[in-house]
Chains A and B, each alone.
Chain A
Amino acid sequence: MTDIERLPYDVVVIGAGGSGLRAAIEAREAGLRTAVISKSLFGKAHTVMAEGGCAAAMGNANPHDNWQVHFRDTMRGGKFLNNWRMAELHAKEAPDRVWELEAWGAVFDRTPDGKISQRNFGGHEYPRLAHVGDRTGLEMIRTLQQKVVALQQEDARQHGDPEARIKVFAETTVTRLVKDGERIAGAFGYIRASGRFALFEAPTVILATGGIGKTFAVSSNSWEYTGDGHALALLAGANLLNMEFVQFHPTHMVWPLSVRGLLVTESVRGDGGVLRNSEGKRYMFGYVPDVFRAQYAETEEEADRWYTDPDHNRRPPELLPRDEVARSINAEVKAGRGSPRGGVFLDIASRRPAEEILRRLPSMYHQFKELADVDITKEPMEVGPAQHYVMGGVEVDPDSAASSVPGLFAAGEVSGGMHGSNRLGGNSLSDLLVFGRRAGMGAVAYLDSLDEAGGRPAATDAALAAAQAEAIAPLERAGGENPYTVHSEVQQTMSDLVGIIRRESEIKTAIAELEKLRERAVQVSAEGGAAYNPGWHLALDLRNIMLIADCVAQAALERQESRGGHTRDDFPGMSPEWRKVNLIVALDGDRVVLRRQPMKPMRGDLLALFDRGELAKYLTEEELPPAGEEKS
């Protein structure tokens, strides 16, 4: 093992998107030596693809907004399965996190009085999303990147070395977390450009690896989204929570085939766009579920008045939470009222002047013009659902982002609980900032306790040798199957059988298929050498993809109800009994095992933010506050 480079740090952050960079900034500002491991180049993480905005109840666009309203919207969006403490922290802290970005150089769109502008989005009662046109994620990643650079400049002045206390390892992939007994001792991986192995020796690891989109065939997610952090956590002994909840965002390009799954931002609807079927009908009025009936308009006239007079009219049904809109598109297409290429029509051309569309949705205009020859200021877009986000993830302590493994933390999409069964648009970017920072703080506190207790954990040689052998195996194995073939079959299996609408027989078939695919996945081989070899990389990613696909399928089979991002054809109703249950997956040897875990009841003061009548739609009778004590 002489060829493993050893790199000692206090904190290793795996992932350089919004949550990873925010966590790293927090750790570095506390004086810790911090490594950021980036699967891609610095500044390219999947966060860059976020379009609509970052939800924070700043009240700039509507003074009635506050954290309580944001909290309520988040819980409703997640169908009350959210970890309520996370939803509370998120709603309370998001405004400061956005303002902090502004102080670090972010240039958000402005209101007429010079504050940060806020836009409407699905499920949010008031205009709440801080945004920059439709490229908010780019602004966020660049701002955080530039903040890291500013900290490096401080170190250059103070220590003569910009990387003295924070260093970004670009194009580096972690394949295993290593432990000393029960505690985290570091992360093992390889640096792509050289193909060399490295051990990041650190008592704390923060997972900020994002999601699992590449488990599915049609996804808006980038190359990086192979469930790495989810899998690393499982393999290190941590629990994953509620993996059955996968968000299928309703609007993506459906044509050309090569861009199928490319995101069409929800802002199109927030800014006035409507969905129509092949008959030209604005059909969403027929899809307002009972739990949301009171908050959504019943006529086109009322819906259209809402854009200019939201205080006296109810919201258009196009702005229902994502799960509802995605199911409606699915149903229209199934009923034979879809667009020619298998989606529905998203029309903003007939609703807003061309110049306004160009100003508010420049990326969408560019994307359709360049890739599909469609001018969205003149004609409707054809859109359909695609995998977009995973609500499930590493089970963490809400306040510190700590997992059950000492020294292991998780923030952002890789963590679970915050969004319940369905995430609201705009709540992801704010989640990254709020819990990225908290994970950084959690790591600082853990290190303090560790140093007081004396002695840091160290990786054993045996663990290192095993990690190295596992990583090198696909390169040394000759004549094995092509990893690209296995990957595409996994994706197709998941999209076909554990996709937007699920049923028991299909999920069982998927689990059997995955079993066969797993045997093939461990036998793949990669041609070529270790340096910048995408085939080898995919062979390593496959382990994670297979593991996570299994978790999603097992949890989807277990939960016999429909809620948020989990729709069971055979169990179409939402069950208050199931609401009290979290599904936990963990590894026993190399098998995924699943168990039910009761939800902690919501704190009384938070419960009091809702009407008893609304709570009764979600909770069991015994969970409800006694009649007469509810909020007036």
Chain B
Amino acid sequence: MGEKVTLKIWRGDAGQGELTDYRVEVNEGEVILDVLHRLQATQAGDLAVRWNCKAGKCGSCSMEINGRPRLACMTRMSTFDPAETITLTPMRTFPVIRDLVTDVSFNYAKAREIPSFTPDPSVKLGEFRMQQIDVNRSQEFRKCIECFLCQDTCHVIRDHPENERAFAGPRFLMRIAELEMHPADTADRREIAQDDFGLGYCNITKCCTEVCPESIKITDNALIPMKERVAGRKYDPLVWLGAKIGRRPRHDTPAVPGGKKS
């Protein structure tokens, strides 16, 4: 109890910043966020840290801990060597607002482009009937707490802001998969998954799955099955022929252009 740990914390704003050293007390059972709170209360009252529930449920306290994207509230101090210096930096993929807080508005803009849940309008309130086995997959994806760690780690946009326009990132490709696998949804998002949201950029390195604090199998259960569905829709010769002779609808529900980040 009461041992001290050395932290290197990135302090600065959108313009510039640097790593600053702090020595902070640590008690048994604590997590990184406890130590940051103690630092705020005793040494750095204005240290910017985004947090909310401190229970791993809201996905606010995302940051990079020794370079790895993690939630500060779920990273226990006991996982570090007591003599180790712990480095805390903001998520690298997003612009810094201040200290450990980043501007994650990219994600909210992408969310707005994806055509929403589209049930059959003739189904009345209370009359949806779905089997548990049919909703299991969508439920897995809806465990997502929108911490955006998968977005942060994905190499398609990490250090490649030029890809941000064409690529929605794992979280939102998974959102498309969630809607596509929802038993009561009637829209088709397979073409736009590829054309507007950049599913093809994903080369299944599974980094997103690895950092997911909810242990959602993003790559195996969302992205790969979506790729298969897209291939079936866009590249299957029979489907292509069917579309040519007008047997099947040719276009998806379009992405929402007004939703795009200006």
Contacts and interface: CB of A to CB of B under 8 A. Distances in A.
B26 to A, nearest CB: 10
Interface in B33-64: 34, 40-42, 45-60
Interface stretch (B116-124, B190-198, B199-207, B230-238): B116-124
B103 interface: yes
B226 interface: no
A418 to B, nearest CB: 23
B68 interface: no
A90 B230 CA distance: 45
B210 interface: no
B116 A150 contact: yes
Contacts of A363: 57
29 contacts: A40-B58, A41-B60, A44-B53, A44-B146, A48-B53, A49-B55, A49-B57, A103-B123, A105-B119, A107-B130, A115-B129, A117-B132, A132-B142, A138-B143, A142-B142, A146-B111, A146-B117, A150-B117, A155-B258, A156-B257, A222-B55, A258-B30, A262-B55, A366-B56, A367-B56, A370-B76, A371-B29, A372-B29, A534-B40
A96 B104 CA distance: 34
5 tightest Cβ-Cβ pairs between the two chains A and B? A256-B29, A156-B258, A528-B46, A535-B45, A105-B117
B241 interface: no
Interface string B101-137: 1011000100110011101000101101111100100
Given A107-B182, A149-B112, A370-B56, A256 B46 contact: no
Given A99-B125, A135-B143, A153-B116, A258 B27 contact: yes
A223 interface: yes
Nearest to B132: A110
B89 interface: no
Nearest to A224: B52
Given A40-B58, A482-B45, A259 B256 contact: no
Interface stretch (A200-208, A483-491, A554-562, A581-589): A483-491
Interface in A132-159: 132-133, 135, 137-139, 142, 146, 149-150, 152-153, 155-157
A102 interface: yes
Contacts of B182: 105, 107
Contacts of B112: 149, 152-153, 156, 162
B57 A256 contact: no
Interface in A119-140: 132-133, 135, 137-139
B139 A132 contact: yes
A529 interface: yes
Contacts of A257: 27-30
A102 B46 contact: no
Nearest to A485: B41
B138 to A, nearest CB: 5
B46 A258 contact: no
Contact of A258 (B29, B48, B135, B138): B29
Given A105-B182, A256-B29, A40 B74 contact: no
Contacts of B259: 152-153, 156, 162
Contacts of A523: none
B45 A526 contact: yes
A255 interface: yes
B99 interface: yes
A300 interface: no
B145 interface: yes
A100 B119 CA distance: 12
Contact of B101 (A526, A532, A535): A532
A223 B52 contact: yes
Interface in A4-27: none
A138 B50 contact: no
A536 B40 contact: no
A107 B135 contact: yes
B111 A149 contact: yes
B24 to A, nearest CB: 14
Most chain B beta-carbon neighbours within 10 Å: one of A102, A109, A482 = A102
B128 A258 contact: no
Given A114-B131, A536-B46, A146 B101 contact: no
Contact of B258 (A95, A115, A161): A161
Interface in A230-276: 255-259, 262-263
A217 to B, nearest CB: 13
Given A153-B259, A482-B41, A531-B98, A100 B116 contact: no
Given A142-B142, A149-B112, A150-B116, A534 B52 contact: no
Given A371-B74, A372-B29, A528-B46, 6 more contacts: A105-B116, A105-B119, A156-B256, A257-B27, A482-B45, A483-B45
B188 interface: no
A139 B258 contact: no
A193 interface: yes
B86 interface: no
Contact of B129 (A113, A138, A152, A157): A113
Contacts of A113: 129
Contacts of A316: none
Interface string A389-422: 0000000000000000000000000000000000
Interface string B145-184: 1100000000000000000000000000000000100100
A258 B52 contact: no
A15 B46 CA distance: 24
Nearest to A223: B52
B52 A533 contact: no
A40 B60 contact: yes
A541 to B, nearest CB: 13
B167 to A, nearest CB: 19
B129 to A, nearest CB: 4
B257 A46 contact: no
B51 A223 contact: yes
B97 A193 contact: yes
A529 B27 CA distance: 31
A282 B174 CA distance: 45
Contacts of A528: 45-46
Most chain A beta-carbon neighbours within 10 Å: one of B108, B126, B215, B257 = B126
A255 B97 contact: no
A564 to B, nearest CB: 26
A43 interface: yes
A58 interface: yes
A262 B57 CA distance: 11
B31 interface: yes
A104 interface: yes
A42 interface: yes
Contacts of B30: 256-258
Nearest to B50: A41
A302 interface: no
Nearest to A168: B108
Given A107-B142, A153-B258, A535 B46 contact: yes
B20 to A, nearest CB: 14
B41 A484 contact: yes
A138 B56 CA distance: 12
Nearest to B215: A366
A257 to B, nearest CB: 6
B252 to A, nearest CB: 15
A482 B45 CA distance: 8
B46 A527 contact: yes
B111 A532 contact: no
Contact of B126 (A46, A99, A150, A371): A99
A224 B60 CA distance: 12
Contacts of A223: 51-54
A109 B138 CA distance: 11
Given A49-B58, A256-B30, A529 B46 contact: yes
Contacts of A488: 41
Given A156-B257, A534-B45, A534-B48, A103 B58 contact: no
